[in-house]
Structure 1
Amino acid sequence: MFTLKSLQKSRTFKYGIPMLLLVVGGSFGLREFTQIRYDAQKINRKLDPSLEARVSKQDQSRVLENEYEKMKGANLDEWKNIRGPRPWENSKDFQEQQRKTQR
């Protein structure tokens, strides 16, 4: 009986154990609620039928091979990096300036 009274007066038993249960229980509860959310999104998400047919027809490796073939023919030695306009610059003036310097 003495140990039960001393446990009830203990700050760890009074505040620590409930806090620990709240944190651990809350993490499990949040996991369940977020899983419900993602399951609902999965059910509601549907592709456009034409896009779905296109995606299912094409093999992804074929698409990558086609893109590789396109890039193989490109001349990368004459490539020049052109920066875009800054937010404070007028984009039309900047484009005209870039076109003049390219000529």
Structure 2
Amino acid sequence: MGLPRALAKNKTLLYGVPMMLLIIGGSFGLREFAQIRYDAYKLHSKMDPALEERVKKNKVTLESEYEKLKDSNFDDWKNIRGPRPWEESKPLQEQQR
């Protein structure tokens, strides 16, 4: 009868062991939940094979886009702001042009 009382009064067994179990068990549990998240991301990131072929075939590079815009003239370009939700969009845009 003396041993269970001595164990119940031991602060290491009363507070330390449950704390260590919580920390160690929590790390394993967190690893499992994180793995579920990464597995779900892998499933959603897969592309349709037909779409993947179109993406591979359509190569757009920064240099090709630069060549398209290189000879453009932006001297007469005017910035037109978009309408606010409470404004009529068509008359405002016509007025700004």
Q: Same fold (TM over 0.5)?
A: yes
Question: What does 1:7-86 correspond to in 2, within 5 Å?
Answer: 8-10=9-11, 13-43=13-43, 45-59=45-59, 62-86=60-84
Deviation at 1:38, TM superposition (A): 2.2
Matched letter for residue 50 of structure 1: A
Q: 1:46-85 CA deviation, whole Å, 9 max, x = no partner?
A: 32333211222344xx522222222323333333332222
TM-score, normalisation: structure 1: 0.58
Structure 1: 5+ residue stretches without partners: none
Matched letter for residue 36 of structure 1: I
Checking the alignment, whether the CA contact within 8 Å between 2:7 and 2:13 is kept in structure 1 is no
TM-score, normalisation: structure 2: 0.60
Would you say how many aligned residue pairs link Structure 1 and Structure 2? 92
The higher-RCO structure (CA 8 Å, 6+ apart) is 2
